């Protein structure tokens, strides 16, 4: 009986350890907006190639978890990126460009460093150079409607984004598909409609206002 009891204890311990190893260290929600349609037909995508899609905004909204030992529960970070060619073109090498990172003003100094490192890691080769790191209050409501396509984001006076659900009314050629993949490693991504997305900051030698495009993704992330 003692042997069976010991075996049971070891089995429970191993199961708990395995479950702990499977649990993500950090998880949350993701929004991406670009200046070209991501839900489109090949003919439209080819027509826009290297003319649009050089601007993008990526938001990671942490639900819970830590990054390299620093707790980041309920904090957010954004990457605002400008490249010289269309981002995410699957037929060419990954495009890289300059970025401004916006970290949540609620974060302390250590958390800001962790958020900066997390964003650079999640963006991968997309960010060749960070030209500035700004701190601002970041308000975000993602997937807030029944169908899950509605989102609103405001980062100080730098960024404002509003999205809504895609529907049949947004089909133009009848040959639409999710043409581009997301720019970051995420789970369950789906395209949504960009009502408006603006960047008013300095540092990238360009500002922009995007409206009325099928150019956004909502998703989740976990690592």
How does pLDDT run across 155-194, given as a tens digit for each residue?
999 999 999 999 877 767 667 888 889 999 999 999 999 9
Structure tokens given for 112: 């800001």
Provide φ and ψ at 84, rounded to 5°. Answer: -90, -5
Residues with Cβ within 8 Å of residue 132, at least 6 apart in sequence: 100, 101, 203
Whether 14 shows a pLDDT value over 60: the answer reads no
Per-residue pLDDT at 93: 60
pLDDT digits (tens, 9 = 90+) for 32-82: 999 999 998 776 676 677 667 899 999 999 999 999 999 999 999 999 999
CA dihedral (155, 34, 166, 180) in degrees, to 10, reads -140
What are the structural domain ranges in the chain? 24-222
Per-residue pLDDT at 48: 75
pLDDT category, 21, cuts 50, 70, 90?
A: low
pTM metric for this prediction: 0.87
Counting residues of the chain whose pLDDT is more than 90, the rounded percentage is 67
Residue 127: C-alpha distances to residues 10, 82, 154, 157, 173 (Å): 46, 9, 22, 23, 33
Is residue 130 within 8 Å of 97, Cβ to Cβ? Answer: no
Whether 96 shows a pLDDT value over 70: the answer reads yes
Whether 7 shows a pLDDT value over 60: the answer reads no
More confident residue, 66 or 87: 66
């Amino acid at each position: 009986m003692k042997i069976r009891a010991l075996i049971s204890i070891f089995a429970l311990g191993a199961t708990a350890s395995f479950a702990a190893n499977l649990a993500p260290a950090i998880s949350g929600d993701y929004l991406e907006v670009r200046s070209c349609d991501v839900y489109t037909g090949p003919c439209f995508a080819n027509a826009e190639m290297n003319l649009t899609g050089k601007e993008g905004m990526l938001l990671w909204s942490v639900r819970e978890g830590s990054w390299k030992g620093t707790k980041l529960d309920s904090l957010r970070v954004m990457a605002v990126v400008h490249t010289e060619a269309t981002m995410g073109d699957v037929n060419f090498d990954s495009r890289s460009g300059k970025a401004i990172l916006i970290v949540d003003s609620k974060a302390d100094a250590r958390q800001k460093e962790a958020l900066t490192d997390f964003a650079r890691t999640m963006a991968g080769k997309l960010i060749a150079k960070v030209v500035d790191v700004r701190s601002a209050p970041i308000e975000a409501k993602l997937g807030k409607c029944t169908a899950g396509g509605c989102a609103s984001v405001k980062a100080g006076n730098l960024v404002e984004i509003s999205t809504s659900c895609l529907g049949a009314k947004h089909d133009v050629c009848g040959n639409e598909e999710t043409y581009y993949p997301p720019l970051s490693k995420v789970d369950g991504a789906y395209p949504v409609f960009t009502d408006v997305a603006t960047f008013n900051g300095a540092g990238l030698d360009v500002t922009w206002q995007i409206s009325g495009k099928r150019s956004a993704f909502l998703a989740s992330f976990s690592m």
